[in-house]
Structure 1
Amino acid sequence: MSEERSRPVDPQADDAERAAESALRPSTLGEFQGQPRVSEQLGLVLAAARNRGAVADHVLLSGPPGLGKTTLAMIIAAEMSAPLRISSGPAIQHAGDLAAILSGLGEGEVLFLDEIHRMSRPAEEMLYLAMEDFRVDVVVGKGPGATAIPIDIPHFTLVGATTRAGLLPGPLRDRFGFTAQLDFYDDTALRRILMRSATQLGVRLSTEAAAEIARRSRGTPRITNRLLRRVRDYAQVKADGTVSLALARDALDLFEVDDRGLDRLDRGVLEAVCARFGGGPVGLSTLAISVGEETDTVEEVAEPFLVRQGFLMRTPRGRVATPAAWRHLGLTAPVGAPGSGDDLFS
């Protein structure tokens, strides 16, 4: 075994690496890039609450994964100088689960519920009363002898996050005092995030390389930082640690991220639609089987990006590849291939 492979792990270096990774998240609204409208509106809401000496209104954050909803929840807690409690909708399957969390909160504490649309209905109905009146009713006993015991809870701020706002019932959505829709980031914002992250990680990153990584990041900061870490690894092993444009391209090609941001799954879906099914239409379940993935993975991970890039269309008869998809794969669409006819939407 070589000396490099047998080298023991340095605990101090590992701690420093973890500290650098955690520092990638911005800690203030001023550092939060790419969502200027949301940052300005949320900053106003929080500043007004601080001036009144009151707890901030409940906040609902919606948008695709990786855009900064968890980071914003942490920033809200920091801006209000309040503790943060983190949980998720799928973890709260019974009203008692929620009652235990709410009764354990401190005055002014921020409760972050990720994927809030996946919370159980009984817990959701308990949350209505907690958000409005800061009270929960705990039912003791069963049947005709059951008794509801009201329990006052401290004033708190609920920050709910969802990737599917349409699944939230209206009564719950209406109880949030501020709702923010996070949008995908443009390349300029992603470049700024990259340069900040590179500084935190100690990576020497050229502006051209930053632009290349940003262009392949699908408008998502989480993907941006993930690609930066992989490019950093490539630079440390294959070069002197400096990330140039050529090195960034080589690294991203190695990790199968093409010049439009498509990864292995995305290209697999497009190749299946074009090469195996003649451009479509093809049903979701058939498409998922052909690429060896679950239907939820294809529908929620690959499809949104492919549709947004204009490579795939959802039609009443199934998924259809567009002319842009054929061109991106370097294929020639056969005569009569679907993708442009109005009959698809009839």
Structure 2
Amino acid sequence: MGSYDALLFLSFGGPEGPDEVRPFLENVVRGRGVPPERLDAVEEHYQHFGGVSPINARNRELIAAIRSRTDLPVYFGNRNWHPMVEDTVAEMARDGVRNALVFATSAYGGYSACRQYDDDIARARAAVGDGAPHLTKLRHFFDHPLFVEANADAVRAALATVPEGARVVFTAHSIPVAADAAAGVPEEGGHRYSRQIAEAARLVAAQVGITDYDVVWQSRSGPPQIAWLEPDVVDHIEALHEKGVEAVVVAPVGFVSDHIEVIWDLDNEAAEKAEELGMAFARAATAGPDPRFADMVVELMAEHLVDAPARSLGGVARAGCTTDGAPCAVTCCEPVRRPTRP
């Protein structure tokens, strides 16, 4: 049990106006060699919604819910857009915060989902210097009962809007196969990203009362010569149609809150494909707006504040608790080396 004087709510970030879209995307891909034409395509998705991602608004709503449940001050910082985490940690230091918990808005392991948040913490503390607060990131929560319950109720609500017998399809952000292999050591039960996604889907499906469902992927952004987790959700909807499936419910269990990749890939592309094929379609809500999600964050905090027991439903390895941006005890979730361009 430790003594903590604040919570840092750490997220990905998103633009809140048309002029912010390109610089935001450039922050996201900095150092990764992504060609400008790929950014052009993604920028169009954001501009389709007025250049505003819903993620910051959803995060502010969640922060308000957490503040109503805790006496600790809650600060908001992002990896890729304002409020930037470096500025937020500097503010915390000015306010006299010395030892804070960090809630990162990802339930899972993996480089972008976990390790990169460790890097964000380390970078922000280095920018502040000797006066930076100590920061302890809360653990993965893909198997927390409240996260599972919120997703299960969202699936039930979506199923109620489509004909009986709809196929439930769980979806998460695709990553390179090599990156998934780096997210833990499978032979030793490591916390591989795809394994955690599959476990979350299994737990949610069990609560809904279904045993036959699918786990698919979305939002691939890499070059075609690199293998990514498959199948893609739109391709899978076509495959279901060929098998005679007449209705589908897509459940974005891999995401905490709506953002552009959820509303573009699912509410637009996947929904349009289903309509084109004459299939009934519904998209389950993300868990973040459910009141139980804020309750869960407070429970995760209590594991450190009052030594509360860690509640979980699954049997798949999880990690995520790190101090001052130090990596997990095992070498995992490291960035995958990209092929050198000729």
TM-score (norm. length: structure 1): 0.27
Greater per-residue helix proportion: 1
Who wins on radius of gyration, i.e. which is larger?
1
Relative contact order higher in (CA < 8 Å, ≥ 6 apart):
2
TM-score (norm. length: structure 2): 0.28
